Amino acid sequence: MAAEMVTFYGKTFSSRLLIGTAHYPSPAIMQQAIRAAGAQIVTVSLRREAAGGRVGKAFWDLIRELDVTVLPNTAGCRSVREAVTTAQLARELFETTWIKLEVIGDDETLQPDVAGLVEAAAILIKDGFQVFPYCTEDLTIALRLRDAGCSVIMPWAAPIGSARGIVNREALKLLRARLPEVTLVVDAGLGAPSHAADALELGYDAVLLNTAIAKAADPAGMAKAFRLAVESGRIAYESGLMGARDFASPSTPVVGTPFWHAVS
């Protein structure tokens, strides 16, 4: 059984694993990891590309060779104005209306400024952008982002780079249940392939990873492990997972089973 396709703003993809392009030991290793992941969408920071010069051009050439869809992000932005301006620059540079929107509210946890995020999303959507907002697992914020026009929402599992996996499982389950029409992507905090499988088993449409792959001893090997985990998790969800039970349930029926008694 093959997992069904996933759609982002009318574009359909077979891979549910999105990959970041930061922190790799070298551009060549980044390219190997993206290929091993089978990723069709990669996130790119405007700040990295805007650095320009030969390094910037070489990086962009590698991305083009991969034949992937680029999702620019506003990483590092700490105000609505900064995020909106960065998104507009990214649209010109990358020639896309897609933007992964980040508005950081706390430097220590990198937790999103959710009020600023909703405001920036509304501004960008009116300007013709298709927004992928990075947010917490808060239901009310997700509802506001949906109402602003976001058909993709990207809640975190845990703080960026923490590798803790899903911290607030019930909140993520609630988001999935209340937003059936929204494409939901778990973004940030996943540190192991099992974490990614867990997110897909909950019914999430995809995951976005960077640090867990880029900083592995073997990024390409880890990328392949995450690819397999994502595929496995989605197939399990589509197949219908067995619900947890409070009590044991015998896997072998006992009705009609003969009982043997020792004869003295």
Distance CA 219, CA 151 (A): 31
Cβ atoms within 10 Å, residue 264? 3
Contact 27, 62 (CB under 8 A): yes
Contact 45, 24 (CB under 8 A): no
Catalytic residue among 11, 57, 100, 215: 100
Q: Residue 42 contacts by C-beta under 8 Å, 6 or more apart in sequence?
A: 18, 19, 20, 21, 34, 63, 66, 68, 69, 70, 71
DSSP assignment of 159-186: STT-----S-HHHHHHHHHH-TTSEEEE
- Measured in residues, the chain has a length of 264
57 labelled catalytic: no
Contact 78, 118 (CB under 8 A): no
Distance CA 205, CA 201 (A): 9
3-state SS class at 25: coil
Question: Tokens 């980044």 sit at which residue?
Answer: 30
Could you list the active site residues?
A: 100
